[in-house]
Structure 1
């Protein structure tokens, strides 16, 4: 395979690495960084990363995509991001192969530029229905027991109604509990 000036050769094995989304062997992932530094990818970190992934996959396209930077500010502004449609200019080539979202009011851009996407704001009944579908699927697949699913559904309802946790955070907490096979105390 030919190389371009200033770039390392990319082998066929590099093209298909799970942490390599556009073919460059220099792309770092959490797992490869831990491995390169001689550290371990701790079980707690694995659970948290998986929980974040599950939450985004579950809520994307269903729950409003809010501007994380605006939400985390002092006034907790609720600013919805646009649909993906912008390619920010980064250093090098192919830095942004996915469309970014924009907070048109304050100018923040997702995809690691100046904000992040926060999934939050679904009506309680729709959110509980989504969680119930997910938990029933997990029971049907043998991932969790019916008792655990019932407990997690109760936790989801109480967190949605009684806390200021975002929809995304609630799903993350439930996913962590599912992986551990036991309930944590909601709150």
Structure 2
């Protein structure tokens, strides 16, 4: 959401993708300062969107998180067109999740098995984008123990996410009764 009466028409809905990294180049552009792409390689100015000179541009977005935390394992994702692919680097149950964001914004229906061609295409695009940005890839955890119970030992968050999703779905179903 943005409000700038001198530039943005009230009550307009724009479906352009925007991320937090767009703020810096947008502020530079709005202040009339020169954009410095070496400082905001992943961000784009939203000023053309605000002015209405650029509409409904679905740009490709890549997210890369090659780290372990207490509740997640390394993953990368790409959004291209209506589809989002998530690649878990440390997942025994399936390395990819695919979602059609035009029909499933809450990412509940994994289409990776039903849509293998789209999954493969996005996997190749993701790999290409990561190579282009010289992204560091995760290093396997040599201390991983399959039978360990603590979260710092996570190999994947895919199973946990599905369990959480099922619990959430049951709560919603029970509240309808």
TM-score, shorter chain, exceeding 0.5: no
Structure with greater strand percent: 2
- TM-score, normalization: structure 1? 0.24
Which is bigger in relative contact order (C-alpha 8 A, separation at least 6)? 1
Structure with greater helix percent: 1
